[in-house]
Amino acid sequence: MIPMSVRRLSIYAAVFTLCALAVPVAIAQENPGMIFAASDGKGHVSLFWFPPPSQWPAGGWKLSDATGKVLVPQIKMGESTALDALSVEDRDTIQRLSSVFAVSDSSPQRKNLVAILSLRAFSEPNFARAAGLSWTLDNVASGSRAYKVEGIDGAGKTIVQMTSSPVDSAQISAPPPAPDSVQAKVDRDGVSLFWNPPADNRQRSIIAYVIERDGGGQSAASVTAKPAVVGLRWDPKKPLVVDHNAPANEMLTYRVFSLDVFGRRSEGSSIRIFFPDFHALEPPDPVTANADVGKVVVIWNAGNKPNLAGYVVERAFLHNGPYEALAAQPLPPSTAQYEDDEVRGGTTYYYRVRAVNSRGDLGNPSAAAAAQPKNPGAPPKVEGLTADVGQTRVRLTWKPVAYPVGGYFVERRALTGLAQAENWVRLNSHVTPEPQYDDYLGLTSDMKMEYRIMAVAFDNAEAPPSETVRVVIADRSLPSEPSITGTSGADGKVTISFEPASPPEKTAQFLVLRSGRADDLGVVIGDPLLASARTFTDPYVSAGTSYWYRLVAVDKNGNRSDPTPPVVVRVGPPAIPRPAAPVLQVVSTPYPHVTLQFGQVPAGFKVSVERQDQPNGPWLRIAGPMLASVASDNSAPPSKNSAYRISYVAANGAVGPPSDVVNAANGR
């Protein structure tokens, strides 16, 4: 190995990515080598080449043009005229390399050595010339032509050759392309510069970049002492160069130029950016907040910084914000405190301070300081308290007080007599923020109560109690269900006997429910019964039908008891009345017959008409059962000794007692 200083090796390792340009250390396939050619347009053509690591020629190089004309028969490493331009250390290095490359070697150590050599050759033209890797042709005739270099071993045999792209000595070769998409960002470390890697072009290789800066009262100056070697590939999101010496509080212009292997510079890519004075934007420390009655005083140490324009005081209700500025304009830079009198007692406020520079940029906030001021006095008494009594709750409403309060306490006490009252009980353990409160009592009944309200400020100061409002809860207890003591379905009607529950004065009315099934609650029939009633008769029933009855007690407030268990009653046949005797008339025209007239048949019955032709003889039905009030006997015997009577017939066919008998002999 060739001895080198630790310093130089560390520099080469830092830019090792450039090795990929000439001799990448690849296992799968070795780089075939490359040659670059450039013209200054004045008859001078510059050439630079680099062979594969394993094919370094021990006999040097032969240079010819594309026609085969030999231009330089041998270019060797370590020629004296080239070494004169190097330092003593570099001359010694080149001379040692000559003996190393005289021996064929394809080991990884040789490849690494060639990689380091490529870095020197690509970045230092004099070193490349001394290493036998570059040549300049003078007075070249105009016209486009390519150039070829052949590597020769110790026996004079060509082991590798490389051909350049055509170049015209009368035309200036295109410079390298300008860096693409130059961006800049600022932070406390300085100005970071970014740009995209160049597109692959083996004939226009970019090896380094030059960065210049204008601004801050200075003309163009280099940001780095030497061109920046960054390699061929990098992450565009990471900075390539950081200007740690950028002048603060200035608008700066940066220009980035590409450099190729011949040291030619591209056009510059420019970007302008303002670099603030981060020191001026540092927040004051410490910041304290002192609570007082009706105000908070925020105090900090005022800084003496040239680019400091002032301070902004911010306030929030939470430590993590959101924060809002308390003044429309920054406070003067000499200010060291701020008095905040737009505060509410008992509220915790968080304060922080930011520095502002001459451009109006805000610095980072200081650490937050907390304070809890007090109110100058207690809140006023609540006015306008009203109560709305519902079925299960009492809703209280009142006028909100014109004072910053956290909410209201609600208190209640029961009134047990004309002049007796229990102690006040606070209903809400936490203040209610709205001027309304619902006291849910459930089915509480027969109570008298009073309510009052107290406003509570944010510093827990309580107002004097409001005027009370009285609430009377009616007796909402349900009466107990009555008892059915007896039933009857005789005579075609239903009769129910019952008794109220104890105490009987709790019952004001009774309701009777009737249904056709045991599982049907039924409907209320008839008008409510008086509290004194003990029986109920239902005439609107049908004989032979079963009905289910229930009773419900109702108190004076309309509260109903549960219905009694159902009782079933089957309706018997009704009692059949004895009809009055019919009116008989014998009619001779247009033919002899007898007519009978009788009153209207009672509801639920029909009438049957009978005749007896001989004393003690049988009675024959001649008409009915029917609902008519007139009957005719067209078959009456001529003797006119027949007797007639009528009877009522029930719906079940039962026949009631007959009327008095009337004789035809007595008729007309």
**SS3 readout for 180-241:** EEEEEEEECCEEEEEEECCCCCCCCCEEEEEEEEEECCEEEEECCCCCECCCCCCCCCCCCE
If one compares 608 and 33, the residue with the highest pLDDT of the two is 608
Question: Could you give the CA distance from residue 29 to residue 121 in angstroms, rounded to a whole number?
Answer: 23
Q: Write the DSSP assignment of 365-407 as a string of letters.
A: ----EEE--B-SSPPPPP---EEEE-SSEEEEE-PPPSS-EEE
Tokens representing 400? 């909100």
> Is the model's pLDDT at 455 over the cut of 90?
yes
Question: Could you give the CA distance from residue 165 to residue 66 in angstroms, rounded to a whole number?
Answer: 10
In the chain, the percentage of residues whose pLDDT exceeds 70 is 92
- CATH code that applies to domain 6-168: 2.60.40.10
Mean pLDDT for the chain overall: 87
If one compares 564 and 260, the residue with the highest pLDDT of the two is 564
If one compares 585 and 325, the residue with the highest pLDDT of the two is 325
Tokens representing 166? 């055509």
CB 553 within 8 A of CB 482: yes
Residue of 570, 438, 595 lying closest to 493 (CA atoms): 570
Query: Per CATH, the architecture of 483-570 is what?
Result: Sandwich (2.60)
> Is the model's pLDDT at 4 over the cut of 50?
no
Residue of 436, 449, 441 lying closest to 382 (CA atoms): 436
Question: Could you give the CA distance from residue 323 to residue 365 in angstroms, rounded to a whole number?
Answer: 10
Domains 180-275 and 287-371 are alike in CATH topology: yes
> Could you tell me the pTM of the whole model?
0.48
Q: Which of 76-90, 287-301, 359-373, 522-536 is predicted least confidently? A: 76-90
Residue 414 DSSP SS3: strand
Residues sharing a CB contact under 8 Å with residue 476, sequence separation 6 or more, in sequence order: 391, 443, 444, 445, 446, 557, 559
Q: Which of 443-447, 465-469, 511-515 is predicted least confidently? A: 443-447
Q: Report which residue type is found at 481.
A: E
Tokens representing 338? 């701020």
Query: How far is the CA of 194 from the CAs of 11, 242, 261, 579, in angstroms?
Result: 22, 9, 22, 126
Euclidean distance between the first and final Cα of the chain, in Å? 170
The residues that bridge with 655 in the sheet, in sequence order, are 649
CB 410 within 8 A of CB 426: yes
Q: Residue 425 — pLDDT band, cuts 50, 70, 90?
A: very high
Q: What angle do CA 371, 377, 379 make, to 5 degrees?
A: 105
Mean pLDDT of 234-249: 90
Look-up of token digits 């053509």:
45
What are residue 332's phi and psi, to 5 degrees?
-55, 150
Among 2.60.40.10, 2.40.50.1020, 3.30.565.10, 3.40.50.300, what is the CATH number of 180-275? Answer: 2.60.40.10
Residue of 296, 414, 312 lying closest to 360 (CA atoms): 312
Question: Could you give the CA distance from residue 645 to residue 39 in angstroms, rounded to a whole number?
Answer: 156
According to CATH, the superfamily of the domain at 583-666 is Immunoglobulins (2.60.40.10)
Reading across the β-sheet that carries 535-538, which strands appear in turn?
A: 483-488, 494-499, 535-538
Q: Which of 6-20, 352-366, 470-484, 492-506 is predicted least confidently? A: 6-20
Residue of 206, 188, 189 lying closest to 197 (CA atoms): 206
Which top CATH class is 287-371? mainly beta
Q: What angle do CA 210, 214, 220 make, to 5 degrees?
A: 60
Q: What fold, for 386-473? A: Immunoglobulin-like (2.60.40)
Question: Could you give the CA distance from residue 100 to residue 110 in angstroms, rounded to a whole number?
Answer: 9
What are residue 100's phi and psi, to 5 degrees?
-65, -45
> Is the model's pLDDT at 641 over the cut of 90?
no
> Is the model's pLDDT at 400 over the cut of 90?
yes
Q: 115-150: buried (b, 16+ CB within 10 Å) or exposed (e) per residue?
A: bbbbbbbbbbbbbbbbbbbbbebeebeeeebebbbb
Q: Which of 106-120, 369-383, 558-572, 593-607 is predicted least confidently? A: 106-120
Phi-psi region of 41 (alpha: psi -120 to 50; beta: other; left: phi over 0): left
Domain residue ranges in the chain: 6-168, 180-275, 287-371, 386-473, 483-570, 583-666
Beta-strand relationship, 469-473 and 425-426: unpaired
Mean pLDDT of 379-395: 93
> Is the model's pLDDT at 208 over the cut of 90?
no
pLDDT recorded at residue 507: 94
Question: Could you give the CA distance from residue 116 to residue 110 in angstroms, rounded to a whole number?
Answer: 10
Q: Measured in whole angstroms, how far is the alpha carbon of residue 225 from the centre of its chain? A: 54
> Is the model's pLDDT at 20 over the cut of 70?
no
pLDDT, tens digit, for every residue of 155-185?
889 889 999 999 999 999 988 899 999 999 9
Q: Residue 639 — pLDDT band, cuts 50, 70, 90?
A: low
339: part of which helix (H) or strand (E)? strand 337-340
Tokens representing 97? 């390399």
Question: Could you give the CA distance from residue 453 to residue 289 in angstroms, rounded to a whole number?
Answer: 35
pLDDT recorded at residue 638: 67
Residue of 304, 278, 286 lying closest to 364 (CA atoms): 278
pLDDT, tens digit, for every residue of 89-144?
888 888 888 777 777 777 777 777 777 787 778 778 888 888 889 999 999 999 99
Q: Residue 556 — pLDDT band, cuts 50, 70, 90?
A: confident
CB 541 within 8 A of CB 494: yes
Beta-strand relationship, 147-152 and 158-163: antiparallel
Reading across the β-sheet that carries 509-515, which strands appear in turn?
A: 523-530, 509-515, 546-554, 567-570
> Is the model's pLDDT at 10 over the cut of 60?
no
pLDDT recorded at residue 418: 59
